[in-house]
Amino acid sequence: MLAPPLYELRGATRSFRLGNSTIMAVDSMDVALDTEEFVALEGPSGSGKTTLLQLLGALDRPSSGKVFFEGRDLAALSDGELAELRLRSFGFIFQQFNLLTTLTAVQNVEAGLAPLGVSAGELRERSLAMLAEVGLRDRAFHLPSQMSGGEQQRVAIARALLAEPRVVLADEPTGNLDSKSGADVIALLTDLAARHGTTIIVATHDAGLAARAPRRLTMHDGRLVGDEKNGKKAKTTEKR
């Protein structure tokens, strides 16, 4: 019997009321994502990328349709089960880095495992090792204010990967970086995904960065309008 895909969306829809109007942030999406994929989710601002990431990260529930993760219907899980899933299975990376300004790099990374009750010694050892993986071992005891934007985002990546999540969800992780730093971050994520067997899903409006991903999903007005794998069109789910 074949194992289910890592993710499967069946008619997944997330709508919001705005005055007398209904906004379809994600509109009847059907797509499957496999383990160890690196996926770029591209489209202009307002296309629904962030809302889709929130559904995939169990931060929100669909208004209708289904979002399955490893065969489990996320909407059917309790709040406690979703919190546990987010803690152990998902890592999150944001455009704004979301580092605590009063903590050093290694302390910010440690914050990613603190809720799991890991001993202080193991926590420090694992955090330093992860900082070494992203090329920042020598910056471990610097504050965010003493680091460049690219270095801060590397700290955020180390924090997201520390718990060895099944999936890392990155929302415009290069949005606050110059083009070279942005390209370096995408290259780093690609390398880390391969080494750790982690599925990486990156939302971006930068077509140049999206082109570096083995799989590209394109959204427009909440709909999935393009799916390319290794430069070849896989399918299109746009409604007409």
Q: For residue range 81-93, what is the model confidence (pLDDT) as tens digits? A: 999 999 889 999 9
| Per-residue confidence (pLDDT) for residue 239, from 0 to 100 | 43
- CA-nearest of 199, 197, 200, 234 to 217 is 234
The pTM score is 0.89
Looking at every residue in the chain, the average pLDDT score rounds to: 90
| Per-residue confidence (pLDDT) for residue 28, from 0 to 100 | 96
| Per-residue confidence (pLDDT) for residue 1, from 0 to 100 | 57
The domain spans of the chain are 36-63+89-230
| Per-residue confidence (pLDDT) for residue 225, from 0 to 100 | 95
Could you tell me the strand order of the sheet in which 90-94 lies? Answer: 90-94, 167-171, 199-204, 38-42, 215-220, 223-229, 232-235
- Give the Å distances, CA to CA, from 167 to 70, 122, 146, 161: 11, 23, 29, 9
What is the pLDDT averaged over residues 198-213?
88
Pairing of strands 232-235, 223-229: antiparallel
Q: What is the CATH number of domain 36-63+89-230?
A: 3.40.50.300
Task: Using the predicted structure, report yes or no on whether residue 235 has a pLDDT greater than 60.
Answer: no
Task: Using the predicted structure, report yes or no on whether residue 240 has a pLDDT greater than 70.
Answer: no
